[in-house]
Amino acid sequence: MADLPTEHLWLPYAQMQKTPTPLRAARTEGTRIFLDDGRPLIDAVSSWWTACHGYNHPHIIDAMERQLHAMPHVMFGGLVHEPAEYLAARLTAMLPGPLAHVFFADSGSVAVEVAMKMAVQVWINRGVRGRTRFLSFRDGYNGDTLAAMSVADPDEGMHALFKGYLPEQVIAPLPRDAETTAEFERLLGEHAGEIAAIVIEPLVQCAGGMKMHAPEVLRAVADAARRNGVLLICDEIAVNFGRTGTLFAHTQAGIAPDILCLGKALTGGAINLAATVATSDVFDVFLSDDPQAALMHGPTYMANPLACAAANASLDLFETEPRLDQVSAIAAQLTRELAPLADLPGVVDIRIKGAIGAVEVNDLHDLDWLKAQFVEAGIWLRPFGKVIYTMPPFTIASEDLSAITGAMADILPRWAARREPKK
Ligand SMILES: *Cc1c(COP(=O)(O)O)cnc(C)c1O
């Protein structure tokens, strides 16, 4: 199998002209990805932040196997099924307040699209015209589809490249201090009449560079949304299910979003599934004798039973295994082991929140060399946007976590030395 061609694949976020030959994964187990040459790699990033219980957890595999034989898929139009009903009931019971209605999607980006479509239609259904824009934040990331891209950071989100095609949103700074608060409030006040909703990633802007903010900042955003009469969409796709230390991140600020997006770790990393959860107030705006007032959306594989079964099994594990305790242990260990890296050349910041540890550097040179060094050290880690970070499975053994932080401590100084200008 080793010489199967990869030339027919188009890889994500890759310049295909010069992308190095990707490694080939053969199987996974626990915290490890095994390459087809047998080399095990400790997964420091939980397969894009999904595998919170590690890989191949027997409880999730069993649940999926049972579902696979009963009904791997059935259309959701006109039919429902127990895995979806059970999952929706459990999610809404876990969530605080009136978040009571779950719309399932097959990827996080689509969950965000659905949230944005819902928000715009809330105003249309209420008979309010002109509220078709969104306010979002610098360093934000909410997915790769077009509406999701439009609310991303203008530079990272390639707004210039797609100018004229992407809807133009109002992008504000997070209100962290007097200056940014004034700017945020000014933009919101000026545009409130055109804005359907504010979109925010609670506590950690992950793909935008692991930028963290205090619960007070999130609370200020939520308060401003209320004061200005716009809806609040929390995109928890990256941080949901324990990543920041609580099951859901927004609860740390005690706020109540109108619409909440879930994804990534929803199935414990076994299979794709995402969800858009709305409050009863939002849901009720779609109840009408007018067929046009309904939410016209329905992904073909919506609420796939196999994915719902995996998600239900993942939720079981949050009840039966000490996931949140594991997250606080990881946070403590990251705090201890990453602190010394602050003194390394080129390191400008160390940020830790729950099971997220990020080392920000002043530039990201020799990226392929850097990635190869981590693989050499037996670690799977994907630096981006000036951050070298870990978001490990919550089940990671402390010596494996030490192997990750130890590899960072070993590799970063050698990498910084390569940055010296060569004359
Ligand atoms: C990954 C991510 C998305 C997009 O999810 P996909 O499943 O990749 O479409 C949206 N929002 C946030 C915050 C994310 O981290």
- Establish whether residue 143 lines the binding site of ligand 1, counting it when its CB lies within 6 angstroms of any ligand atom: yes
Q: How confident is the model at residue 109 (pLDDT cuts 50, 70, 90)?
A: very high
pLDDT of the residue at 80: 98
pLDDT of the residue at 423: 44
Nearest CA to ligand 1 atom 6: 108
Cα of 112 from ligand 1 centre, angstroms: 8
Q: What is the mean pLDDT of residues 63-67?
A: 98
Q: Which of 225, 203, 235 shows the shortest CA–CA distance to 352?
A: 203
Taking only the tens place, the pLDDT of each residue in 188-208 is 999 999 999 999 999 999 999
Whats the size of the chain, residue-wise?
423
- Tell which phi-psi region holds residue 46, choosing left (phi > 0), alpha (psi between -120 and 50) or beta: left
Question: Can you tell me the distance from the alpha carbon of 134 to that of 230, in angstroms, rounded to the nearest whole number?
Answer: 9
- Establish whether residue 42 lines the binding site of ligand 1, counting it when its CB lies within 6 angstroms of any ligand atom: no
- Establish whether residue 208 lines the binding site of ligand 1, counting it when its CB lies within 6 angstroms of any ligand atom: no
Q: How confident is the model at residue 1 (pLDDT cuts 50, 70, 90)?
A: very low
Q: What's the whole-model pTM score?
A: 0.97
Grouping H, G, I as helix, E, B as strand and the rest as coil, residue 113 is helix
Nearest CA to ligand 1 atom 5: 108
Grouping H, G, I as helix, E, B as strand and the rest as coil, residue 354 is coil
- Establish whether residue 259 lines the binding site of ligand 1, counting it when its CB lies within 6 angstroms of any ligand atom: no
Report the share of the chain in percent with pLDDT over 70.
Answer: 98
pLDDT of the residue at 20: 77
Question: Can you tell me the distance from the alpha carbon of 179 to that of 16, in angstroms, rounded to the nearest whole number?
Answer: 42
Using most ligand atoms within 8 A of CB, pick from 104, 112, 145 the residue to mutate for ligand 1: 112
Return the active site residues: 13, 141, 235, 264
Reply yes or no on whether the pLDDT at 6 is more than 90: no
Grouping H, G, I as helix, E, B as strand and the rest as coil, residue 350 is strand
Closest atom of ligand 1 to 143 CA is 4
- Establish whether residue 83 lines the binding site of ligand 1, counting it when its CB lies within 6 angstroms of any ligand atom: no
- Establish whether residue 249 lines the binding site of ligand 1, counting it when its CB lies within 6 angstroms of any ligand atom: no
Question: Can you tell me the distance from the alpha carbon of 231 to that of 360, in angstroms, rounded to the nearest whole number?
Answer: 33
Reply yes or no on whether the pLDDT at 163 is more than 90: no
Count CB neighbours of 187 within 10 A.
16
Give all strands of the β-sheet with 387-390 in edge-to-edge order. 347-353, 356-361, 387-390
Using most ligand atoms within 8 A of CB, pick from 139, 141, 218, 250 the residue to mutate for ligand 1: 141
Taking only the tens place, the pLDDT of each residue in 127-146 is 999 999 999 999 999 999 99
Q: Quick one: CA dihedral 310, 315, 318, 323, positive or negative?
A: positive
Taking only the tens place, the pLDDT of each residue in 17-45 is 877 788 999 999 999 999 999 999 999 99
Reply yes or no on whether the pLDDT at 3 is more than 80: no
Cα of 166 from ligand 1 centre, angstroms: 18
Q: What is the mean pLDDT of residues 161-166?
A: 89
As given in the structure block, the two tokens for residue 115 are: 């949230």
- Establish whether residue 106 lines the binding site of ligand 1, counting it when its CB lies within 6 angstroms of any ligand atom: no
